[in-house]
Structures are given as structure tokens and as C-alpha cells.
């Protein structure tokens, strides 16, 4: 089953709740399994430059079917695949993007979060992603 808009909004709501707990306003994007935008919310006070980063983290998670930070093992200095973060029109190799799968394991979307430190972004993304489990 593809993600519905209601599903996507539930993902965003849970991510927002966790952001409120942290006290850090976030940009939160949800895309479908092909990487096309489904829903987005910029929380009051979230950094403008993080809009694009949230969108790109979601894209990164779709393109590699993996949390965005996993890309770092490949593209980091000394890693086997330097400059991979500059492919595909730009990728983000740190935390905040999480792929979403249905009960059959099919990739149905991703959440991308940006606005805090990467560790915070990743925490909020996982809180949002948990809504689809």
C-alpha cells in the first residue's frame, strides 16, 4: 500500500511531538517511495536553510533505501566511495533521513528532518518513522 496523506501527516505529527519535547523546531518532509513530496511542515522558528536539507535527507533515504547517515561510511575521508554525497544532485550523509517500509518490506516513502544537530534530527526522524510501524 502506498502512503496516504493521512499516513504522512501522522508521521509529521509524531515527529513534531518529539521536536517539541527536545525544544528544537524542525523542518519535516515526507516523500513517497519514488521520492516525490507528499507532505511538509516547517515548525515555527525552524531554520530556513534546513528546508532543503530535510528534503534532501528524505531523498537520500529513498535513493539508498537506508538511513541517511549510513552514506557516511562510504563517502567519508578514507571511505571507499568519496564524493558520493555530490551525486544525484546532492545527498546528505548524516542523520535525519529514514526510509519507510510497509509490512511486506516494500519501500513506500521516507521522512527527512532538519533543524537541530544531526543526532537530534535523527531522533526526531525515528520518532516520525515509528508512526508507520
Q: Which residues bind its own copies (CB under 8 A)?
A: 4-5, 8-9, 32-44, 47-49, 51-53, 56, 60, 62-65, 72, 76-77, 80-94, 117-119
CA 27, CA 96: separation in Å to the nearest integer? 10
The distance of closest approach from Cβ of residue 53 to its own copies in the complex, given in angstroms and rounded to an integer, is 5
The distance of closest approach from Cβ of residue 118 to its own copies in the complex, given in angstroms and rounded to an integer, is 5
Q: Which helix (H) or strand (E) holds 58?
A: helix 49-64
- Cell digits of residue 130: 515509528
**Nearest C-alpha neighbor of 97 from the set 74, 48, 64:** 64
The distance of closest approach from Cβ of residue 125 to its own copies in the complex, given in angstroms and rounded to an integer, is 14
User: Among residues 8 and 127, whose Cβ is nearest to its own copies?
Assistant: 8
CA 32, CA 83: separation in Å to the nearest integer? 26
User: Among residues 61 and 127, whose Cβ is nearest to its own copies?
Assistant: 61
**Which letter does DSSP use for residue 2 in this model?**
P
Amino acid at each position: 500500500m502506498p502512503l496516504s496523506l493521512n499516513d504522512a501527516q501522522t508521521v509529521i505529527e509524531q515527529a513534531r511531538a518529539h521536536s517539541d519535547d527536545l525544544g528544537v523546531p524542525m523542518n519535516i518532509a515526507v516523500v513517497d517511495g519514488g521520492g516525490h513530496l507528499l507532505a511538509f511542515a516547517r515548525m515555527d522558528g525552524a531554520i530556513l536553510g534546513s528546508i532543503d536539507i530535510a528534503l534532501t535527507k528524505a531523498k537520500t533515504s529513498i535513493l539508498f533505501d537506508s538511513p541517511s547517515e549510513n552514506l557516511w561510511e562510504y563517502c567519508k575521508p578514507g571511505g571507499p566511495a568519496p564524493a558520493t554525497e555530490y551525486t544525484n544532485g546532492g545527498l546528505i550523509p548524516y542523520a535525519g533521513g529514514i526510509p519507510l517500509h510497509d509490512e511486506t518490506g516494500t519501500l513506500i516513502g521516507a521522512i527527512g528532518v532538519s533543524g537541530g544537530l544531526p543526532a537530534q534530527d535523527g531522533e526526531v526522524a525515528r520518532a516520525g518513522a515509528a508512526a508507520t510501524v
